[in-house]
Amino acid sequence: MQGHIGEDVGKVRSQPEISPEIAPDEASGVLEEEHDDQHAEEGSTEERIPRHVHPGSSSENPHVESSERREGRMSDIATAVKLVKAVEDDAKAVAGSLVGLFSSLQSALSEVTGSSVDHMKCHSEAAGLLQDASIDAAAKGQRFINACLRLNEEMKSVGNLAAQLKALRQVVDQFEYHASRSLPRL
């Protein structure tokens, strides 16, 4: 749309000025000749005439035609300016919405980051406590294993002592047996 308006403004500026000394019939002839020279590539004469003669305007008074054209062009320009202003206002509203969206996104990301940091601290503390507990449990387990090994060594010597006691008991039993047979009963 902007390109179309620019073309229309360029056409208005490129129209020749009609001096008051030229008669109205001569002016329209000059206008048509210059227009034909300038815009020969734009189409046939029938297509070009509506551009210069508006419905209801007299072709005998080019000043009226020119002012009507200018008013129409100014109206088009005013409409275009209003449209551009509306687009600009919409763009500002969209920019404001984007600023709000990015602001809320930033605060949400900040909260998530804070929660993640807190979670990592909690995890680190829990891992540290678990590591301390596992080291303590491993030390206690090692002490228990060492105690079991010492008890096993002591039980080996007790086993030898038990074997000796068993042999001694057999000797005592034999002694009693022989003594009870040899000695008279009381």
Residue 127 scores a pLDDT above 60: yes
Same domain, yes or no: 6 and 67: yes
Residue 41 scores a pLDDT above 60: no
Same domain, yes or no: 169 and 98: no
Residue 62 CA from chain centroid, whole number: 62
Residue 132 scores a pLDDT above 60: yes
The per-residue pLDDT for range 95-119, each reduced to its tens digit, is 999 999 999 999 999 999 999 999 9
How much is the pTM?
Answer: 0.38
Q: Computed over its alpha carbons, how large is the radius of gyration of the chain? A: 58
119 assigned to some structural domain: no
Tracing tokens 């007299």 back to the chain, one arrives at: 58
- Helix-helix angle 2-14:62-182, to 10 degrees: 160
The per-residue pLDDT for range 53-101, each reduced to its tens digit, is 444 444 455 555 677 777 878 888 889 999 999 999 999 999 999 999 9
121 assigned to some structural domain: no
Q: How far apart are CA 139 and CA 24, in angstroms?
A: 118
Same domain, yes or no: 31 and 89: yes
How many structural domains does the chain have?
A: 2
Q: Report the pLDDT averaged over residues 34-49.
A: 45
Same domain, yes or no: 15 and 84: yes
126 assigned to some structural domain: no
Closest CA to 82 of 177, 178, 1, 184: 1
Same domain, yes or no: 95 and 41: yes
The per-residue pLDDT for range 148-168, each reduced to its tens digit, is 999 988 888 888 888 889 999
Look up the domain containing 139 and give its range: 131-186
Q: How far apart are CA 90 and CA 72, in angstroms?
A: 27
34 assigned to some structural domain: yes
Same domain, yes or no: 99 and 156: no
Q: How far apart are CA 162 and CA 160, in angstroms?
A: 5
Q: Report the pLDDT averaged over residues 127-149.
A: 96
120 assigned to some structural domain: no
Same domain, yes or no: 171 and 102: no
Same domain, yes or no: 14 and 96: yes
Same domain, yes or no: 92 and 160: no
Same domain, yes or no: 87 and 136: no
Share of the chain above pLDDT 90, in %: 45
